[in-house]
Amino acid sequence: MERTSNLQNRALDSNASGWINGLIGVVIFSGSLPATRVAVLEFDPVFLTVARATIAAILALCLLLAFKEKRPARHQLVPLAIVALGVVVGFPLLTALALQYVTSAHSIVFVGLLPLATAVFGVLRGGERPRPVFWIFSVLGSLLVVGFAVAQGLTASPQGDILMLLAILACGLGYAEGAKLSRTLGGWQVISWALVLALPVMAALTWWRLPVSFSGISTPAWFSLAYVSLFSMLIGFVFWYRGLAQGGIAAVGQLQLLQPFLDWPWRRPCCTSM
């Protein structure tokens, strides 16, 4: 009985830690789309994507070397490649391209679908089996967030909408794959190794897409690049992957429903174009 009680307490502690870590990750991610919108107004979207990945990868490599982390096993390379394609390349590039056509306010419509996408990939890739009532509330939650965004009065762009939809699918896959891998590799190690795996290509593309001059880049754009490189691309994932691994991909993934509401304070009323 005592052993069973201890196991139950550990499970509860793990779930609680998962929700806390997941919430911290969502708070950090809430500034990603507004920051990307500011940066893409002055940086080329492709350069922004590869530059943020390169900066984050260099920092991640320093962490891995400092803590003398072991290299991933051969069977972990394919999952890491999926994580890299989903959240290092896919989501940042597709959202940067989409935000040329739509505002970050409009993109909230699609962020409301991200928890549902994460849950679906959690079933397909993570082997989770949520109860039917979970899917009911997950769909209702997504509809409420989408309704909240639409109620703000949004204009549509077919190009932007398609790109955002693809971004959400790529992100959901990257989240689920990374969370599954975090159970054996560790949360911060997953995003770090995924960034390092993509570093050679990202660094080469950064050099290739390097602007002729940075003289016309404003301070807000530089701060936005720094934010998406350090927080959106690295620090946020440290908490997010740990939270998903501890509390469950489908369950903790629903915290993303809070992101549109946390995103709103980032955009001042005077800056409706954001």
Flag whether 160 is in a domain.
yes
Q: Residue 109 domain-assigned?
A: yes
The number of distinct structural domains making up the chain is 1
Residue range of the domain that includes 215: 10-69+77-266
Low-confidence ranges of the chain (pLDDT < 70): 1-13, 148-156, 263-274
Q: Name which of 99, 120, 107, 117 is nearest 146 in CA terms.
A: 107
Q: Taking a C-beta distance cutoff of 8 angstroms, is the pair 76, 185 a contact?
A: yes
Which ranges constitute the DSSP H helices of 67-103? 77-83, 91-98
Name the residue type at position 141.
G
In a domain, 4, yes or no: no
How much is the pLDDT for 152? Answer: 58
Tokens of 99: 């935000």
Q: What is the pLDDT of residue 156?
A: 64
Q: Per-residue DSSP letters for 147-207?
A: HHHHTTT----HHHHHHHHHHHHHHHHHHHHHHHHHHHH-HHHHHHHHHHHHHHHHHHHHH
The predicted structure's pLDDT at residue 96: 92
Within a domain: 271: no
pLDDT of 12 reads 58
Of how many residues is the chain composed?
274
Rounded CA-CA distance 48/41 in Å is 10
Report the alpha-carbon distance of residue 23 to residue 148 in Å, rounded: 20
In a domain, 1, yes or no: no
pLDDT of residue 41: 92
Q: Coil, strand or helix: which one is 212?
A: coil
- Specify the pLDDT at position 272: 40
**Residue 125: closest CA among 182, 165, 163:** 182
Q: Does a structural domain hold residue 92?
A: yes
End-to-end CA distance of the chain: 57
Q: Residue 23 CB: number of other CB atoms within 10 A?
A: 17
pLDDT for residue 40: 92
- pTM score of the predicted model: 0.87
